[in-house]
Amino acid sequence: MPPLSRFTVLIERRLPRAAAVFAACAALVVSALALSPARAAAADVSERKLARDLKLELANAGQPAVQWARNVNGVRHVQAIIVTDGADPEMTDLRAAVLRSGGSVHGVFPSMRALSVQVGAGQLSALAQRKDVVSVSPNRAVARTASTLEAITGALTTNVRTNSTKTSYSGWDGSGVGIAVLDTGVMAAHDAFRNASGVSRVKASVSMLNTTAANWTTGVGTTSSLKPGSNSLSNYESSISTATSLTQDPYGHGTHVASVAVGSARHYVAGTPDTTGIAPNANLYDVRVLNQSGLGTMSDVLEGMQWVIYNARALNIRVLNLSLAAASTESWQTDPLCIAARSAAAAGVTVVVAAGNYGVTLTGQEAFGTIGSPGHDPSVITVGAVNFKDTTGRSDDVVTHFSSRGPTRGGSLNASGVRVPDNLLKPDLVAPGNKIVGAAATQASSSTPTLNTLASLFGSVLVTPLGITPVYPEMQMLMSGTSIAAPAVAGTVALMLQANPGLTPPLVKAILQYSAQPTADGNLLQQGAGMLNISGAMALATSLRTDIASAVEAGTLTAGANLLASGKTMPTPSSSIGGSGFSWSGMVFAGGNRVLSGNELFTKFQPIWDPRLTWAGNVARKRDVVYWTGNGIPVNTYPRYFTDVAASNQTLITSGVRRGDTLLGTSSSIARTGLFMKAKDLSSWLISGSGLVLSEGLVLSEGLVLSEGLVLSEGLVLSEGLVLSEGLTLGER
């Protein structure tokens, strides 16, 4: 089927009245060709800046087909996210332009140079033509995408935790490291989140659910400031606090997700399962961005991410878990959630994202290209799910059928007006995500512990199979999905940062991939580098210097500098979990579509371990944080805004590193070659020393990386980036 026909069929299946919308959009493009040269050029600029799904709705002459569009007093209005590269971090002129157009400004996000606005549909093109506007995206919907968990992930090994029971354990546990969970909320009163002394480890509970934007009111402008110590900031913090709310997670998704990352079973009564999470003493920050139905908007998620970025250094929030996803047709370069994720990474926060639950079509066919936003950003750790088959051994583990597959399909228009997908390798790795037992939220009242929505609707699947009597505040339930796999990785990151606080976000991801275990049959687009291996990740993390992050920030680490800690050598690249030994994958994804290998990745400093640098394809960008300054304001603590420029000419990868993607050849899903070959086979080749050794490294020159990575032809994938949400799945056998 030709690409255009395939695209049209997909749109007809997924969006209401999409065939008519698509035809109308095509008519708009044709009519633009008849404009005067100057107006045609302006229209062309507008075309490139407006997200594809936004343009489709603008061309819709019927009733609004999406929740971010509405007719107000007979005029079509849309709620959108405008990203800018203007010199003013407060975006004063752009905000004024929105108000002059009769619109409203609902949110200001300095961390990503973006505004959340409501404007008349007829005003969007003019706003997009402004020189300070980079992209305009719809305010898309977002949805929630020892214990068995300890045993199957490698947390119960000599270099992680030597022993673990419901009442005690010894070893790394995430102490002192903060994990922020952006979700449906967290039941802070649940015993899973208490420390050894019985004190809650939920350090803050805030809600970003935006009621103003839902009112569709015009002429509203927000001017609040996040300046440290200001009354405006104090009022803002008070307005979002939900610490005293009895119902902090009415849906139930966020509490379960949080328990997988940081849950402890030490206070549970006898008879309940040991559901100890990965980092059972880490601090938890509950940031509610999804409502009682597990749904939200992109602007609320951006607000939550900004709160985390702003408070990260003051509260030692080192990990951000996003078990949610939004549809996105945009490239990672302009997608607002991706931009926010890169800001978080640049500020030193490792962002872990669920890949999504769209690995199969409605007709049961495997679907590639179904990674949601912001999982399609190269800076985040995108996590798929494996089915552990109810055994602690790993030889029978398989990628779940529902786990979203790569490559990424967000894209942009080139100079000729042709859409070019990013086609980045994703997911990065996979973790247990099928029928995992964790905490179940209720109302925080022992007299009326009302069940959460999920437990109420699906009790026969999520609660009854456990065979235990629900006890307040210890109620548990089963959940499945990449939403549950992601926090297993987030908890692992907390352990790694407890053991070595000097790791940077891209180095954390590289360690997780390099030490992963490929499943027996999965390919790179299904499983990334392989299954989470906490034992291997900790062995590699503890062999490296603990001052890497500070040295990178200070600019004192040069390409090729030694990264090993004093007296340390590279650990043996193998692990044993569940009584079975295996070799590590030896693979690291870099540059979006390259597979790297070799000890030099970790024995020598690779400039790509700088979290301010993002490289994918032939594009490399540098994102720097600018902090608030002034009397009484701690130095380099509270981000004010970020700058984003093309990276300067430099070495990206040093000599001695090996390229593994050169071994793959042509990709065929039928012949199972190229990207569709078994990842385990590629791993074995790399372990044996195969691959192209980079004698001179990879260098960025004149803003471009001259070395090509994997070239993914059209027709390999089934999706065009229109993932509707992270999705809800009840598991598989």
pLDDT of residue 166: 54
pLDDT at 217 over 50: yes
Please give the structure tokens belonging to residue 318: 């080192």
> 378-422: per-residue pLDDT in tens?
999 999 999 987 777 787 889 999 999 999 999 988 888 888 889
Among residues 204, 355, 200, 196, which one has the least CA distance to residue 719? 355
Q: Are 408 and 219 in contact (CB under 8 A)?
A: no
Helix (H) and strand (E) counts for the chain?
Answer: 20, 34
Burial (CB < 10 A; 0-12, 13-18, 19+), residue 60, is buried
Instruction: Tell me the C-alpha distance between 457 and 730, whole Å.
Output: 11
For the segment 228-236, the average pLDDT, to the nearest whole number, is 92
pLDDT at 99 over 70: yes
Instruction: Tell me the C-alpha distance between 693 and 701, whole Å.
Output: 20
All structural domains of the chain: 3-139 (3.30.70.80), 142-211+254-650 (3.40.50.200)
Would you list the DSSP string of 241-258? Answer: B-TT-S-S-SSSHHHHHH
pLDDT at 101 over 90: yes
Angle at the Cα of 236 from the Cα atoms of 94 and 640, rounded to 5 degrees: 50
Positions annotated as catalytic residues are 183, 253, 483
Instruction: Tell me the C-alpha distance between 623 and 614, whole Å.
Output: 8
Please give the structure tokens belonging to residue 262: 């940081």
pLDDT of residue 720: 36
For the segment 272-283, the average pLDDT, to the nearest whole number, is 86
Instruction: Tell me the C-alpha distance between 690 and 597, whole Å.
Output: 10
Q: Report which listed range, 34-43, 361-370, 440-449, is most confident.
A: 440-449
pLDDT of residue 28: 39
- Dihedral class, residue 95 (left if φ above 0, else alpha if ψ from -120 to 50, else beta): alpha
**Which residues make beta-bridge pairs with 621?**
614, 646
Among residues 379, 332, 370, which one has the least CA distance to residue 135? 332
Among residues 419, 332, 305, 298, which one has the least CA distance to residue 134? 332
Instruction: Tell me the C-alpha distance between 515 and 512, whole Å.
Output: 6
pLDDT at 249 over 70: yes
Q: How confident is the model at residue 710 (pLDDT cuts 50, 70, 90)?
A: low
Q: Are 102 and 123 in contact (CB under 8 A)?
A: yes
pLDDT of residue 211: 53
Q: How far is CA 74 from CA 77, 120, 121, 214, in A?
A: 9, 11, 12, 17
Please give the structure tokens belonging to residue 329: 């047709």
Q: Are 194 and 267 in contact (CB under 8 A)?
A: yes
The Cβ of residue 516 has, within 10 Å, a number of other Cβ atoms equal to: 29
For the segment 535-539, the average pLDDT, to the nearest whole number, is 97
pLDDT at 703 over 80: no
Q: How confident is the model at residue 466 (pLDDT cuts 50, 70, 90)?
A: confident
pLDDT of residue 19: 39
Q: Length of the chain in residues, anyone?
A: 733
pLDDT at 482 over 80: yes
| 29 vs 46, residue with greater confidence | 46
Q: Are 84 and 114 in contact (CB under 8 A)?
A: yes
Q: Are 591 and 617 in contact (CB under 8 A)?
A: yes
Q: How confident is the model at residue 216 (pLDDT cuts 50, 70, 90)?
A: confident
533-563 as b/e: b if 16+ CB within 10 A:
bbbbbbbbbbbbbeebbebbbeeebebbeeb
Q: Are 410 and 330 in contact (CB under 8 A)?
A: yes
Backbone angles phi, psi at 540, to 5 degrees: -75, -40
pLDDT of residue 34: 43
Catalogue the E-assigned strands of 2-157.
Answer: 69-72, 75-84, 104-109, 114-120, 133-138, 141-143
| 248 vs 705, residue with greater confidence | 248
113-127, 151-165, 662-676: segment of lowest average pLDDT? 151-165
- What value does the mean pLDDT of the chain take? 86
pLDDT at 141 over 90: no
For the segment 59-67, the average pLDDT, to the nearest whole number, is 87
45-49, 495-499, 697-701, 722-726: segment of lowest average pLDDT? 722-726
For the segment 144-152, the average pLDDT, to the nearest whole number, is 63
Among residues 543, 490, 534, which one has the least CA distance to residue 512? 534
> 343-385: per-residue pLDDT in tens?
999 999 999 999 999 898 888 889 999 999 999 999 999 999 9
Would you list the DSSP string of 589-625? Answer: EETTTEEEESTHHHHB--GGG-TTEEEETTEEEEEEE
Catalogue the E-assigned strands of 428-579.
Answer: 429-432, 436-439, 476-479, 574-577
Pairing of strands 698-701, 704-705: antiparallel
